[in-house]
């Protein structure tokens, strides 16, 4: 295969033979892509190819059955009435960059009957408003599917609206905080500049009351999430970060109010509002960075099947939306389909893949009478079940809710600050009471002023800002180098990782195995063998499928079953075939080739070869210099793995590893006290990815693997992993520095304040400077990443 690889004009996949040859026009890998590109050019939307920054999805030529999208039951639940029509929010999996969103907007706008559309590439959501009298929803969705964007149901209209309005409320809070603190600062500036107290008292008081006026909405409207958090924590009799934040805000605010009323020497409104604004901004940035990573993967994982098949009393079947299922209905699930509701399995045993629920990607056998859950996928043979829970009562919905709550939780790093903060607040309050009592005895007229200065100068702003500021900067830096963190604790664990285990297929190699040679036995010719193999691999999503992507399968395989670590099995033209390692497919000694056979006799042997990725050697060197030990555990044959490991200088590679072997290897390393990072991309890797301390999925891999991973690399470059490790370590270092700084600052400032040596004016300055130092330190991360390799 030394011929130059021609990439498909639309999706970028390699083209060989087939549809490549128009004299000098662009090449296409399949009819689907060719049709999509022809339509795009014809509709005068060719700019898409210029604007895009990522390749499109490969278009499935098969026409999807989308008729069920037009059912009124579905529309009732997922869409709402707007002026002149209806509006629906749906998900798609193919939006990879802003140009996709642009294309979708333009393409749908050309359809008759479309009122308005918005596509958002960040969240993977498309909002369509259409006039049901002039077009059907399914016609519009066919247009989307034709361009390679397959529609999925979103989580229901109510939830989508709630998500949107929640985001808007946060934005509004941030805006009010920003504008309000700007004004408060301006007014406070006038007071600060009056160093010698020459300002007439009425003017000064007017300034103070005006500052009070503008900071009130900031503290109570913008700062509401913190206040509510404090209320929650106090109800649970627990002092956490929100108590710390809300406490110090309220302290600065009310202390200023008291000083304003009694005409004291200083007010601190500006400190209170600036604090609220900075914390809100840090929280939003961090959330946005995480949302980019989770919005699509997460929502797709929760996407429900569009319709369910219900069996009537008389044994005939009808298809209904999952929401129409009632407890006690009999539901039929075809092999490969998602289960629409929780239910008890009837008739015979069946296998279900429960990765979504348990993280275990291997199908689990369920016996008749056992419960199977919505969101699992029926494998190998169809099943019938009696529904026991539907809609929001299913285990999947409950889990999704749990995930929502877990995402709101703070990572372990933040919990450290939480713990420190709690002790800090308690001891500070005790100390403040002691100081007040002490001064009351010693010099009663200074007691209030000194206590106030103590509370203000020790204000835990720096402490509570230290972690969120770094996290926000780190997520931003990671996103810029092309790695998205989907779990909050991922950064911390990645920074501590000592070992990195690679899965070979597609991770270190370029993921496009090519057929080097075909040996045929028993009279089948090479082309026919390749066609059978292509039919079997067609929809498997396994990287090996790429080796047969150029073959026109013609026939379709029936009842395809994947056996992880062994191969695939299925029926083509009435014959049962095995495609995989020799001992399983052809009943002979494993020799490293890919065999096609019936399980006992082999008819063809394919030799596949993979090259290491161009950047693999450089990336591995970078990881070694970072002190990581590298391992290779692959499901591929001994020879191929040895060749690759030798080329890249990895010692002791493990070949022919089943997912269980890989997981055992990871567990063994963990028992030796090592912290394991796993890099993988295959379906087989999902359990290992879930089992490792921290896992990274390559962006081109199987969706399931991405979902089990803590971090997703958005591009194929391995250098990103080294960058991610660097950013994670730097973030951890900065958090430590910040915590040390705020602790040191307090150790110095609190005794001085308690001794009455600090005026409230210096206290306010010290508080502002300490917060600023922490923020600027965190921003070093944002600056530093520009020096990283691309």
Name the nearest CA neighbour of 30 among 67, 56, 64, 66. 56
Q: Which is nearer to other proteins, 112 or 757 (CB)?
A: 112
Which residues are within 8 A (CB) of 208 and not within 5 positions of it... i.e. 6 or more apart? 191, 256, 259, 260, 267, 269
Please report whether residue 129 would count as binding other proteins according to CB under 8 A: yes
Provide, rounded to whole angstroms, the least separation between the CB of residue 83 and other proteins: 5
DSSP 618-677: HHHHHHHHTT-EEEEB-SS-HHHHHHHHHHHT-SS-B-S--HHHHHHHHHHHHHTT--EE
Please select the residue that binds other proteins; options are 29, 90, 119, 603, rule is CB under 8 A: 119
Piece of the chain touching other proteins by CB under 8 A; list 75-83, 353-361, 578-586, 656-664 = 75-83
Please report whether residue 479 would count as binding other proteins according to CB under 8 A: no
Q: Which is nearer to other proteins, 53 or 316 (CB)?
A: 53
Q: Which is nearer to other proteins, 172 or 402 (CB)?
A: 172
* Residue 561, beta-bridge partner list: 569
Please report whether residue 210 would count as binding other proteins according to CB under 8 A: yes
Please report whether residue 308 would count as binding other proteins according to CB under 8 A: no
Please report whether residue 102 would count as binding other proteins according to CB under 8 A: yes
Piece of the chain touching other proteins by CB under 8 A; list 13-21, 116-124, 249-257, 607-615 = 116-124
Please report whether residue 101 would count as binding other proteins according to CB under 8 A: yes
Please report whether residue 329 would count as binding other proteins according to CB under 8 A: no
**One-letter-per-residue 3-state SS of 624-639:** HHCCCEEEEECCCCHH
Q: Which is nearer to other proteins, 161 or 600 (CB)?
A: 161
Name the nearest CA neighbour of 403 among 363, 359, 360, 371. 359
Please report whether residue 648 would count as binding other proteins according to CB under 8 A: no
Name the nearest CA neighbour of 412 among 694, 691, 745, 713. 694
Please report whether residue 313 would count as binding other proteins according to CB under 8 A: no
Cα dihedral: 775, 777, 781, 783 (round 10): 90
Please report whether residue 600 would count as binding other proteins according to CB under 8 A: no
User: Is 503 annotated in the active site?
Assistant: yes
Q: Locate tokens 């002190």: which residue?
A: 627
Q: Locate tokens 């490790």: which residue?
A: 725
Please select the residue that binds other proteins; options are 203, 265, 371, 398, rule is CB under 8 A: 203
Please report whether residue 289 would count as binding other proteins according to CB under 8 A: no
List the x/- string, 155-174, binding to other proteins by CB under 8 A: ------x--xx-xx--xx--
Please report whether residue 80 would count as binding other proteins according to CB under 8 A: yes
Please select the residue that binds other proteins; options are 6, 20, 98, 618, rule is CB under 8 A: 98
Piece of the chain touching other proteins by CB under 8 A; list 207-215, 298-306, 642-650, 774-782 = 207-215
Please report whether residue 419 would count as binding other proteins according to CB under 8 A: no
Q: Which is nearer to other proteins, 193 or 652 (CB)?
A: 193
Q: Which is nearer to other proteins, 127 or 736 (CB)?
A: 127
Evaluate whether 531 touches 552 at the Cβ level (below 8 Å). Answer: yes
Which structure tokens are listed for 709? 């991973």
Rounded distance between C-alpha atoms, residue 449 and residue 759, angstroms: 8
Piece of the chain touching other proteins by CB under 8 A; list 111-119, 447-455, 532-540, 574-582 = 111-119
Q: For the chain, first and last CA: distance in Å?
A: 30
Please report whether residue 127 would count as binding other proteins according to CB under 8 A: yes
Q: Which residues inside 175-194 make contact with other proteins, applying CB under 8 A? A: 175-176, 179-180, 183, 186
Piece of the chain touching other proteins by CB under 8 A; list 112-120, 508-516, 553-561, 739-747 = 112-120
Evaluate whether 546 touches 58 at the Cβ level (below 8 Å). Answer: no
Helices and strands, counts by H and E, the chain: 25, 28
Q: Which residues inside 45-74 make contact with other proteins, applying CB under 8 A? A: 45, 47, 50-51
Rounded distance between C-alpha atoms, residue 548 and residue 14, angstroms: 11
Largest CA distance in the chain: 107
Q: Which is nearer to other proteins, 117 or 330 (CB)?
A: 117
Which structure tokens are listed for 664? 């055992």
Q: Detail the DSSP E strand segments found in 44-153.
A: 79-82, 85-92, 114-120, 125-130, 151-153
Name the nearest CA neighbour of 614 among 721, 717, 483, 543. 717
Please report whether residue 40 would count as binding other proteins according to CB under 8 A: no
Q: Which of 270, 503, 710, 785 is catalytic?
A: 503
Rounded distance between C-alpha atoms, residue 714 and residue 724, angstroms: 12
Please select the residue that binds other proteins; options are 68, 118, 566, 642, rule is CB under 8 A: 118
Which structure tokens are listed for 322? 């999952």
Q: Which is nearer to other proteins, 122 or 426 (CB)?
A: 122
Please report whether residue 122 would count as binding other proteins according to CB under 8 A: yes
Cβ–Cβ contacts within 10 Å for residue 561, how many? Answer: 16
Rounded distance between C-alpha atoms, residue 186 and residue 527, angstroms: 79
Helix (H, G, I), strand (E, B) or coil at 130: strand
Count CA atoms closer than 13 A to 725's CA, side-chain side: 25
Please report whether residue 561 would count as binding other proteins according to CB under 8 A: no
Provide, rounded to whole angstroms, the least separation between the CB of residue 171 and other proteins: 5
Which residues are within 8 A (CB) of 442 and not within 5 positions of it... i.e. 6 or more apart? none
Cβ–Cβ contacts within 10 Å for residue 765, how many? Answer: 15
Q: Which is nearer to other proteins, 105 or 510 (CB)?
A: 105
- Please give the size of the binding site for other proteins, defined by CB under 8 A: 48
Please select the residue that binds other proteins; options are 83, 313, 314, 445, rule is CB under 8 A: 83
Please report whether residue 736 would count as binding other proteins according to CB under 8 A: no
Annotated active-site positions, please?
Answer: 503
Judged by the rule CB under 8 A, the positions of this chain that interact with other proteins are: 44-45, 47, 50-51, 80, 82-85, 87, 98-99, 101-102, 105-106, 109-110, 114-116, 118-122, 127, 129, 131, 161, 164-165, 167-168, 171-172, 175-176, 179-180, 183, 186, 203, 206, 210, 213-214
């Amino acid at each position: 295969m030394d011929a130059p690889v021609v990439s498909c004009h639309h999706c970028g996949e390699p083209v060989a033979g087939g549809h490549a040859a128009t004299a000098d026009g662009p090449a296409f890998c399949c009819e689907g892509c060719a049709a999509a590109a022809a339509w795009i050019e014809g509709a005068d939307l060719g700019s898409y190819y210029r604007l895009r920054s990522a390749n499109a999805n490969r278009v499935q030529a098969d026409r999807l059955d989308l008729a069920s999208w037009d059912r009124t039951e579905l529309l009732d639940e997922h869409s709402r009435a707007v002026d002149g029509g209806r509006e629906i929010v749906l998900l798609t999996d193919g939006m990879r960059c802003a140009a996709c969103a642009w294309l979708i907007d333009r393409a749908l706008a050309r359809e008759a009957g479309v009122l308005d559309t918005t596509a958002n590439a960040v969240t993977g959501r498309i909002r369509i408003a259409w006039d049901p009298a002039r077009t059907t929803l399914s016609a519009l969705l066919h247009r989307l599917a034709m361009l390679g964007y397959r529609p999925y149901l979103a989580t229901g209209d109510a939830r989508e609206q709630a998500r949107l309005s929640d985001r808007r409320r946060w934005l509004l809070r941030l805006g009010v905080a920003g504008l309000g603190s700007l004004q408060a600062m301006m007014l406070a500036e006038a007071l600060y500049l009056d160093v010698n107290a020459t300002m007439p008292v009425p003017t000064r008081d007017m300034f103070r009351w005006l500052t009070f006026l503008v900071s009130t909405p900031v503290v109570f409207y913008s700062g509401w999430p913190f206040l509510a958090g404090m209320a929650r924590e106090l109800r649970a009799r627990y002092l956490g970060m929100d108590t710390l934040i809300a406490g110090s805000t309220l302290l600065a605010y009310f202390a200023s109010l008291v000083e304003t009323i009694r005409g004291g020497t200083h007010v601190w409104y500006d400190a209170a509002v600036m604090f609220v604004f900075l914390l809100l901004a840090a929280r939003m940035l961090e959330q946005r960075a995480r949302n980019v990573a989770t919005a699509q993967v997460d929502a797709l994982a929760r996407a429900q099947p569009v319709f369910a098949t219900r069996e009537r009393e008389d044994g005939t079947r009808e298809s209904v939306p999952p929401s129409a299922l009632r407890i006690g209905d009999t539901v039929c699930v075809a092999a490969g389909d998602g289960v629409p509701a929780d239910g008890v399995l009837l008739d015979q045993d069946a296998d279900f893949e429960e990765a979504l629920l348990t993280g275990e990607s291997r199908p689990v056998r369920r016996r008749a009478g056992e419960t199977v859950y919505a969101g699992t996928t029926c494998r190998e043979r169809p099943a019938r079940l009696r529904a026991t829970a539907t809609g929001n009562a299913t285990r999947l919905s409950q889990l999704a809710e749990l995930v929502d709550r877990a995402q709101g939780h703070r990572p372990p790093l933040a919990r450290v600050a939480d713990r420190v903060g709690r002790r800090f607040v308690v001891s500070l309050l005790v100390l403040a009471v002691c100081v007040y009592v002490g001064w009351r005895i010693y010099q009663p007229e200074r007691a209030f002023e000194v206590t106030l200065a103590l509370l203000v100068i020790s204000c835990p702003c720096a402490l509570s800002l230290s972690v969120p500021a770094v996290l926000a900067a780190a997520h931003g830096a990671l996103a810029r180098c092309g790695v998205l963190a989907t779990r909050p604790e991922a950064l911390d664990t990645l920074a501590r990782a000592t070992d990195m285990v690679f899965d070979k297929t597609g991770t270190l190699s370029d993921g496009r195995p090519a057929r080097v040679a075909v040996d045929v036995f028993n009279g089948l010719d090479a082309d026919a063998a390749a066609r059978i193999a292509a039919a079997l691999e067609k929809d498997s999503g396994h990287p090996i499928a790429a080796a047969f992507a150029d073959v026109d399968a013609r026939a379709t395989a029936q009842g395809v079953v994947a056996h992880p670590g062994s191969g695939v099995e299925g029926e083509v033209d009435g014959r049962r075939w095995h495609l995989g390692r020799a001992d399983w497919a052809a009943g002979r000694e494993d020799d490293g080739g890919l065999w096609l056979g019936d399980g006992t006799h082999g008819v063809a042997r394919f030799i596949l070869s993979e090259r290491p990725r161009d950047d693999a050697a450089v990336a591995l060197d970078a990881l070694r210099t970072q002190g990581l030990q590298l391992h290779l555990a692959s499901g591929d044959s001994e020879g191929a793995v040895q060749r690759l490991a030798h080329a890249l200088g990895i010692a002791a590679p493990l070949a022919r590893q089943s997912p269980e072997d890989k997981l055992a290897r990871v567990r063994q390393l963990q028992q030796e006290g090592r912290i394991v990072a796993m890099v993988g991309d295959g379906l087989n890797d999902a359990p290992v990815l879930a089992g490792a301390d921290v896992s990274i999925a390559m962006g081109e891999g199987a969706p399931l693997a991405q979902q089990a991973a803590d971090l997703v690399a958005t591009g194929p470059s391995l250098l990103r992993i080294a960058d991610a490790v660097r950013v994670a370590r730097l973030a951890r270092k900065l958090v430590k520095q910040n915590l040390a700084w705020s602790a040191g600052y307090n150790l110095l400032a609190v005794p001085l304040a308690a001794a009455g040596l600090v005026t409230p004016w210096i206290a306010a300055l010290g508080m502002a400077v300490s917060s600023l130092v922490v923020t600027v330190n965190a921003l070093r991360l944002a600056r530093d990443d520009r020096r990283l390799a691309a």
